[in-house]
Amino acid sequence: MTGVPRLVLSAPSSGHGKNTLAIGLLAAFADRGLDVAGFKVGPDQVDAAYLGLASGRPGRTLDPRLVGADRVAPLLSHGAAGADLAVVQGSMGLYDSLTGRSETESTAAVATVLRSPVVLVVDVAAMGQSVAALVHGFRAYDEQLWIGGVILNRVASARHEALLREALDDIGVPVYGALRRQDLPSVLPSRRYGVVPVLEGAGEATRAVRRLGEAVTATVDLERLLGLARSAPALGVQPWSPSGADEVSAPLPAGADRPVVALVGGPGGSFSHAETAELLAAAGAQVVTLDPFTDEVLPAGTKALVVGGALPESYAEQLSANRRLCIAVAELARTGRPVVAEGAGLLWLARELDGLPMCGVIDAIGSLRDGLVVGYREATAQGDSVVATRGEVVIGHKEHRAVLTPRGGQRPAWSWPGGAPEGFIWRGVHASQLVPHWAAYPRIATRLVAAAAAEPATVGVGDGGPAGPAGAALGDPAGAAAAGPAGAPTA
């Protein structure tokens, strides 16, 4: 049983300010000395990262589509262990879902599973007494949902605030705060930088979080809000455990050396979900962070590499400029060691991206486009790898602007309805723009660590090697002369 106090912060639709308010709430409560934990409904790792920065512990996503509805409450219990308060930031509108499955995948569905009160953030800039009708409608739409009150955003004046409070008082809905139009400034770094400002400890990100916390402290009744959170009943679930999943086979034998797995990220965490590092450690790995922008060599003794899906596409120049690391990654892949690349990690392994040389592990060329590809995919594995066995089905998420030519290699990673096979399997490499959540498939970590601990398969003379740019860039004859690249197009 888990009794962590908790709130779900949602809104009638996107654009009401719930993201900045959730960050500000966590920062405000943390500044008061509370141990807080932040969560994001859906696949958005950027929002989760800033919630983590505000709370001082890893921000996590709660995505019923990616992990299954039955894991949502256990994952919150795990991520909020020992916390005084958990704040869950919703996605889109309260009853909305990217897939149209609002009964199981909306913020309202998550709040119901978590038995958590919901606080609606409402942009009232162009609203008067109608705010009562709006909130009443959301409350009446699902009588089983617990709407505990509202926070008003972009209030015009004291008179406007009084009118709004009176209207909501008439329907018995508490108001926990009222923010003026200028109280929540747009101070967060641009989303084009993704999670990097958080992972690299950028001063701009830290100052923005602090400023939002100060704004919330001045405008929101934190004591009453905490009282609402504490009224949430205990969750009748056991916390998720990285070592306790049924799908995980036994870790490495006692006494075996713990293989070093390099997890790409920065001082503030990795580009993977927080559970990825925990699963790797539980499977027996020694997890070491690798910064792709500043580290020129792999961590000593590296036996495997994981590039998580939150690596931003917009950092192509910085990735390309680190030629020594590109060569090291290509050599690791050439020797048959496990390399898993998700999302933009696939672009880093490609021959080039928009004319910039990358690692050259796979023979594909990437280019950035204006349109955004986004959505969930139910994917079937097209070959055996450390990620999946042939025929295995996983659910992942895609969000990218870049396209690769070819889209898939001689041994593609995945296929799904409506699209050609995608991704690349080559020796120990599994690279794809699809991003699964490893908490739903903990056997990925087990297989990867087992492969890292084993001796790599012998590489024959005609077995190929990296595509070339990484090695050739610095005159590496082995890289320049490599044959049989991973992504050579099929006929």
* 3-class state of residue 7 by DSSP: strand
Could you tell me which residue, 482 or 205, shows the higher pLDDT? 205
What's residue 2's pLDDT? 66
Which part of the chain has CATH 3.40.50.300?
6-230
Give the number of other Cβ atoms within 10 Å of residue 249's Cβ.
Answer: 10
How do residues 370-429 score in pLDDT, each as one tens digit? 889 999 999 999 999 999 999 999 999 999 999 999 999 999 999 999 889 999 999 999
Tokens in use for 179?
Answer: 């923010």
What's residue 489's pLDDT? 33
pLDDT band, very low/low/confident/very high, at 245 (cuts 50, 70, 90):
low
* 3-class state of residue 368 by DSSP: strand
Q: Please check the confidence at residue 254 and state whether its pLDDT lies above 70.
A: no
How many whole angstroms separate alpha carbon 344 and alpha carbon 198? 18
Amino acid (one-letter) located at 309: G
What DSSP element (H or E) covers 453?
Answer: helix 443-453
Q: What is the DSSP letter of 458?
A: P
**Sign of CA pseudo-dihedral 49, 55, 59, 61:** negative
The overall average pLDDT reported for the chain is 91
In contact, 267 and 201? CB cutoff 8 Å? yes
Q: What is the DSSP letter of 184?
A: S
Amino acid (one-letter) located at 17: G
How do residues 327-368 score in pLDDT, each as one tens digit? 999 999 999 999 999 999 999 999 999 999 999 999 999 999
How many whole angstroms separate alpha carbon 432 and alpha carbon 412? 9
How many whole angstroms separate alpha carbon 236 and alpha carbon 68? 17
What's residue 475's pLDDT? 32
Q: Please check the confidence at residue 104 and state whether its pLDDT lies above 70.
A: yes
In contact, 401 and 313? CB cutoff 8 Å? yes
How many whole angstroms separate alpha carbon 251 and alpha carbon 324? 33
Q: 6-230 domain in CATH 3.40.190.10? A: no
Q: In 3D, which of 252, 240, 244 has the Cα closest to residue 447?
A: 252
Q: Please check the confidence at residue 251 and state whether its pLDDT lies above 80.
A: no
Region 176-197 average pLDDT: 94
What's residue 168's pLDDT? 98
DSSP sequence for 346-364: HHHHSSEETTEE---SSS-
Amino acid (one-letter) located at 207: R
Residues facing residue 178 across a β-bridge: 152
CATH of domain 260-480: 3.40.50.880
Region 173-188 average pLDDT: 94
In contact, 386 and 451? CB cutoff 8 Å? yes
In contact, 113 and 65? CB cutoff 8 Å? no
Which part of the chain has CATH 3.40.50.880?
260-480
Region 113-119 average pLDDT: 98
